[in-house]
Amino acid sequence: MSKKNKRQDAEAVEDAGTSVKLKNKTYEKELRRLHVELVKLQEWVRHQGLKVCIVFEGRDGAGKGGTIKAITERVSPRVFRVVALPAPTEREQSQMYLQRYMQHFPAAGEVVIFDRSWYNRAGVERVMGFCREEQADRFLEMVPFGEKAIVDSGIILIKYWLEVSPEEQTRRLEARIEDGRKLWKLSPMDLESYSRWYDYSRARDAMFAATDTDFAPWFMAYSDDKKRARLNIISHLLEQIPYEELPREKVELPKRQKPGDYREPEYPFKIVPAPY
């Protein structure tokens, strides 16, 4: 990005460590500007045949879904693909642990975003007892070798952890209970994991200690202010992948054809009711 863009980023997040919430007007203005940069990045990824893999992990209620939506809402789903895998099938449980994720890795010209990833083993599976402790330890021992192979294959691997305070997590989960639009976000697993805050803290710490490597580092974003976190992450993401704005010819709409002998039909279309 240009020096001007970097300066604007700095001005937008200069008080990120304060309790002052980012104003919606500022958020929308900065998000629009960053969306333009993401489109430039998209075209560069396609042009250069880059392969980008972005991993999002974090606390329940930390805002992973909203951040991913902010990244992808103005780019092409053919370039930016979001992968959110369900619980493994019986067959997948018998596979090598990374196997079901590997089939979703990016090809040339693609950005793949994992909404939770192979790090499930280091987090929810370990805390909730879905795997044995020795399996989790073995995973943490081996995953750096796997990620080294991923990076050596030419994939740009970027890993984000979203951290939220206990108080803000409580507020957000309570909001899901009260808001009919958000009830689907609240599962029995969320309620169980909510009670195990420090078990998750220990699992996170062990994961960072084992997998925060030079070739595949973890980047943490504090997300008590979700809007601030989204801007910070998008700005940071743009810095991780050097890109240039590709030249484009000015687009002009062609003249629309004249109707000639065409007449609007008298067909009794079934019109959608308009109560609004």
- Would 190 be classed as within a structural domain? yes
User: Quick check: 184 pLDDT over 80?
Assistant: yes
Name the pLDDT band for 1 (thresholds 50, 70, 90): low
- The amino acid at 135: Q
Stretch 209-223: mean pLDDT: 98
Phi, psi of 112 (to 5 degrees): -110, 130
- Would 258 be classed as within a structural domain? no
User: Quick check: 166 pLDDT over 60?
Assistant: yes
Percentage with pLDDT > 70 across the chain: 93
Name the pLDDT band for 16 (thresholds 50, 70, 90): very low
Name the pLDDT band for 19 (thresholds 50, 70, 90): low
Q: How many domains does the chain have?
A: 1
pLDDT of residue 186: 82
pTM summary value: 0.88
Stretch 21-30: mean pLDDT: 94
- Would 270 be classed as within a structural domain? no
- Would 263 be classed as within a structural domain? no
- Would 269 be classed as within a structural domain? no
Stretch 118-122: mean pLDDT: 97
User: Quick check: 183 pLDDT over 90?
Assistant: no
- Would 38 be classed as within a structural domain? no
Phi, psi of 232 (to 5 degrees): -60, -45
pLDDT of residue 193: 83
Q: Which string of DSSP letters, residue by residue, matches the chain?
A: --HHHHHHHHHHTTTTTSSPPPPHHHHHHHHHHHHHHHHHHHHHHHHHT-EEEEEEEE-TTSSHHHHHHHHHTTS-TTTEEEE---SPPHHHHTS-TTHHHHTTS--TTEEEEEES-GGGTTTHHHHTTSS-HHHHHHHHHHHHHHHHHHHHTTEEEEEEEEE--HHHHHHHHHHHHH-TTTGGG--HHHHHHHTTHHHHHHHHHHHHHHH--SSS-EEEEE-SSHHHHHHHHHHHHHHHS---PPP-PPP-PPPPPP-TT---------PPP---
Kindly report, residue by residue over 39-49, the tens digit of the pLDDT. Answer: 999 999 999 99
pLDDT of residue 136: 97
Half-sphere exposure of 64 (CA within 13 A, CB side): 23
- Bridging pattern class, strands 155-163 and 110-115: unpaired
User: Quick check: 17 pLDDT over 50?
Assistant: no
User: Quick check: 272 pLDDT over 90?
Assistant: yes
Q: Which residues pair with 155 in a beta bridge?
A: 51
Kindly report, residue by residue over 247-271, the tens digit of the pLDDT. Answer: 999 999 999 999 999 999 999 999 9
- Would 18 be classed as within a structural domain? no
Q: Greatest CA separation found in the chain?
A: 77
pLDDT of residue 209: 98
Contacts of 263 (CB under 8 A, 6+ apart): none
Q: What is the CATH number of the domain that holds 110?
A: 3.40.50.300
Q: Which domain holds residue 62?
A: 49-224
More confident residue, 121 or 186: 121
User: Quick check: 3 pLDDT over 60?
Assistant: no
Judge whether 92 and 35 are in contact, CB under 8 Å: no
- Would 141 be classed as within a structural domain? yes
Average pLDDT, the chain: 92
Stretch 183-203: mean pLDDT: 88
pLDDT of residue 142: 96
Cα separation, 225 vs 33, whole angstroms: 19
* Closest residue by Cα to residue 133 from 76, 77, 199, 63: 199
Distance from the Cα of residue 70 to its chain's centroid? 8
| Token representation of residue 207 | 């994961």
Name the pLDDT band for 2 (thresholds 50, 70, 90): low
